[in-house]
Structure 1
Amino acid sequence: MICLLCQQFSPLPLRITDILFLKPQTTTLCQECQQGFQKISFTSCQTCNAPSQSSPCSDCLEWKVKGYEVNHKSLYQYNAAMKAYFSQYKFQGDYLLRHVFAQELAQVIKKDYPDFTPVPVPISKERYEERHFNQVTAILEAGNINYCMLFKRMDTSRQSSKTKNERLLSKDAYRLSTLSELPAKILIIDDIYTTGSTIIALKKLLMHVGNSDIKSLSIAR
């Protein structure tokens, strides 16, 4: 196997069951690259998975004061390895990296959100023209995860270029693309959860049209 991140060859141990049942290869990274990613700690905030000794954390408390409950789960911490991954995937356009977390994301959705409809966070037309793909929908498609596009991105400035306060104060960046036949249970999916401003902005739109069973999930926090 050639690791999708470091491009080095890494031999894969084969089990007899893999050979007998022609089980497809799902490993995409070498052991060294895989070990660079850190799972969310049990001591993190229980409502958004932020590294925090208190739960809810200060960000979630701030949203609660404003009238919004956070119900978010992340798979991994946003550490140096994860930052390098997203830099290579999103900003350098390494499309093959969509496979890295696709199967794990599919398993989590199937196990923890069986009745929810995955709804990816959109990117602007400008970002799409730069990147030629939406980093979230690409991962969902790589994992054969059915999803529904409910939102349009209006703001063209990058979230990664904004300060924390700018993210929190960002308004009217999104619009609902449809008002008909909205799913009853919605799982908003993003690549990185930072302050929660993106998720809350989308949740606000859904709550405005009567949806209340809304959760969110991201690769990193």
Structure 2
Amino acid sequence: MICVYCGVRFVEKFSFHKLFFQTNELTCSQCISKFKKIIDPVCEICCGYIIENQKLCKNCIEYISLKLEMPLIINKSIFHYTNEIKEWLNKFKFCGDVQLASIFADDLMEYYENSFKNYKIVPIPLSDARLKERGFNQVEVLAQYAGLNLTNCLERIHTEKQSKLNRYERLSREQVFSYCCAEKIDNEPIVLLDDVYTTGKTVQDAATILLQNGATEVHSLTLIRA
């Protein structure tokens, strides 16, 4: 096999899972080992770093103390925002190497099955302008490789790139989402799917719109926790 990330030929390890389900490894073990998975203990709300013996991170404690709206109940993230995953994100998201989504397909499916099975999955959308510029929605590509079925019911107003905003500017940004389906959600729990969780503003805003349109509760599953 040829690793989709580094391009080096490697020998695929045998397993009965691959034999019965006819799946193949697309990434060598050396590349996979570069990415650091998040393990407990982490913040019970956002999956961020916590001080020893604390249940919540300083950001979530601040939100609660300031009585800021937090409609999203729980965010689950899979990987830390390391230099290695930042490089992967740049190749995948900004250079358009969509096949790199295959690296984390099994992880996304596993986390969804373990934490949000039977929840309706709503992807965070791109604005029309950003979609035209990039050519694809990276969240939808991740879901496609993971075999996750999506419900597209949100639209996004075009704004400046999140990466160009500081923390204060992100948190003070106005609502950018609207509901775009003819029918409301029929009292169902929702899990939002996104690539990166930074301040949480994006998924919190999306959760607000979904709750206003019939969702019973909203969580999020993000590949990376910055």
TM-score using structure 1 length = 0.91
Partner of 1:104: 107
Q: Which residue of 2 aligns with 1:199?
A: 203
How far does residue 189 in structure 1 lie from its aligned partner after superposition?
0.7
What corresponds to 1:67 in structure 2?
69
Letter in 1 for 2:31: C
**1:178 correspondence with 2:178:** no
Q: Superposition pairs for residues 72-83 of structure 1, below 5 Å?
A: 72-83=75-86
2:69 alignment partner AA: G
Are 2:186 and 1:188 equivalent residues in the alignment? no
- Rounded Cα–Cα distance in structure 2 between residues aligned with 1:17 and 1:83: 30
Q: Distance in 2 between matches of 1:163 and 1:15?
A: 46
One-letter amino acid of the counterpart of residue 185, structure 1: P
Gaps of 5+ in 1: none
Percent identical pairs in the alignment equals 27
Q: Secondary structure at the match of 1:38?
A: coil
Quick one: distance in 1 between partners of 2:109 and 2:137? 17
Q: Distance in 1 between matches of 2:222 and 2:117?
A: 16
* Structure 1 runs, 4 residues or longer, greater than 4 Å off: 15-19
Q: Partners in 2 of 1:214 and 1:80 — Cα distance?
A: 30
Compared with structure 1, are the counterparts of its residues 22 and 148 closer, same or farther at alpha carbon in structure 2 (3 Å cutoff)? closer
Q: Does 1:135 align with 2:146?
A: no
1:115 aligns with 2:115: no
- Against the structure 1 CA distance between its residues 210 and 148, is the aligned structure 2 distance closer, same or farther, given a 3 Å change threshold? closer
Aligned to 2:55: 55
In the TM superposition, what is the alpha-carbon distance from 1:16 to its structure 2 partner?
6.9
- Secondary structure at the aligned position of 2:37 is classed as coil
Q: Letter of the 1:188 partner, please give it.
A: L
Q: Relative to structure 2, which stretch is displaced further, 46-55 or 113-122? A: 46-55
Cα distance 1:204–1:59, how it changes in 2: closer, same or farther (>3 A)?
same
5 Å-filtered alignment, 1:24-43, equals 24-25=23-24, 27-43=25-41
Q: Measure, in 1, the Cα distance between the counterparts of 2:145 and 2:18.
A: 21
RMSD over aligned Cα atoms: 1.9
TM-score by length of 2: 0.89
| Further displaced range: 158-167 or 105-114 | 105-114
Residue 189 of structure 1 contacts residue 216 of structure 1 at CA under 8 Å; is this kept in 2?
A: yes
Once the two structures are TM-superposed, the CA of residue 219 in structure 1 deviates from its matched residue by 0.3
Give SS of 1:217's match.
Answer: strand
The alignment of Structure 1 onto Structure 2 pairs a total of residues equal to 219
Trace 1:143-154 onto structure 2 (pairs within 5 A): 143-154=146-157
Say which SS state the counterpart of residue 45 (structure 1) adopts: coil
1:7-26 Cα shifts (integer Å, max 9, x gaps): 1112112347755x47221x
Q: Which runs of 5+ in 2 are unaligned?
A: none
Distance across 2 between alignment mates of 1:197 and 1:57: 15
Please report how far the alpha carbon of residue 206 of structure 1 lies from its aligned counterpart in structure 2 after TM superposition: 2.0
Look up the match of 1:3.
Answer: 3
Report the 3-state secondary structure (helix = DSSP H, G, I; strand = E; otherwise coil) of the residue aligned with 1:100: helix
Check the 8 A contact 1:126/1:156 in 2, yes or no: no
CA distance, structure 2, for counterparts of residue 155 and residue 84 of structure 1: 25
Cα deviation digits, residues 150-203 of structure 1 (max 9, x gap): 111103321122111111111121111125141511000110000100011011
Residues of 2 paired with 1:16 and 1:192: CA distance?
A: 33
Q: Is 1:213 the counterpart of 2:217 in the alignment? A: yes
